[in-house]
């Protein structure tokens, strides 16, 4: 699995984690989210380091932005990172399970979760 899949799925997985499912499924989903959380946190840390490396501070705030002249190298670095393989236990959700539990997702969300939905 690519890091990009996990990063793109973060918000939808957070949404699913707030839904009511039977206990066994909830237990499995919670375990999966616990497994990927450190990976996503490390991604955010690296991303923030790159923003600082290639960026500049915004005024008197604690926020940073990538300098326009460094945007190309920043995007290149981030794409290399996002294309990295990550090892996580396989976790699948059968599409009928989402339907049975009245979980409504958009076409875009389903495309993002393509790696997860069986």
Q: What pLDDT, on a 0 to 100 scale, did the predictor assign at position 98?
A: 87
The pLDDT tens digits of the residues spanning 8-56 come to 999 999 999 999 989 999 999 999 999 999 999 999 999 999 999 999 9
Q: What pLDDT, on a 0 to 100 scale, did the predictor assign at position 34?
A: 96
CB 64 within 8 A of CB 52: yes
Domain-wise residue ranges, the chain: 3-112
DSSP state of 84: S
Mapped onto helix, strand or coil, the DSSP state of residue 18 is coil
Q: What pLDDT, on a 0 to 100 scale, did the predictor assign at position 5?
A: 96
Tell me how far CA of residue 92 lies from CA of 20, 64, 75, 81, 97, in angstroms: 17, 37, 30, 24, 10
Q: What pLDDT, on a 0 to 100 scale, did the predictor assign at position 95?
A: 87
3-state DSSP percent of the chain in helix, strand and coil, to 5: 65, 10, 30
Q: What pLDDT, on a 0 to 100 scale, did the predictor assign at position 2?
A: 96
Q: What is the C-alpha to C-alpha distance for residues 105 and 111, in angstroms, rounded to an integer?
A: 10
Cβ-proximal residues to 79 (8 Å cutoff; 6+ apart), any chain:
none
Predicted TM-score (pTM) of this structure? 0.87
The pLDDT of residue 65 is above 90: yes
CB 48 within 8 A of CB 35: no
CB 13 within 8 A of CB 33: yes
The pLDDT tens digits of the residues spanning 74-118 come to 999 999 999 999 999 989 998 888 888 899 999 999 999 999 998
């Amino acid at each position: 699995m690519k890091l990009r899949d996990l990063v793109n799925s973060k918000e939808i997985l957070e949404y699913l984690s707030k839904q009511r499912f039977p206990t066994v499924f909830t237990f499995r989903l919670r375990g999966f989210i616990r497994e990927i959380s450190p990976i996503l946190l490390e991604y955010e840390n690296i991303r923030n380091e790159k923003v600082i490396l290639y960026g500049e501070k915004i005024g008197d705030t604690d926020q940073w932005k990538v300098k326009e002249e460094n945007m190309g190298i920043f995007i290149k670095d981030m794409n290399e990172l996002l294309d990295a393989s990550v090892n996580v236990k396989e976790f699948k959700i059968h599409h009928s399970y989402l339907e049975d539990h009245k979980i409504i997702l958009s076409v875009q969300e389903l495309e993002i979760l393509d790696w997860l939905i069986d």
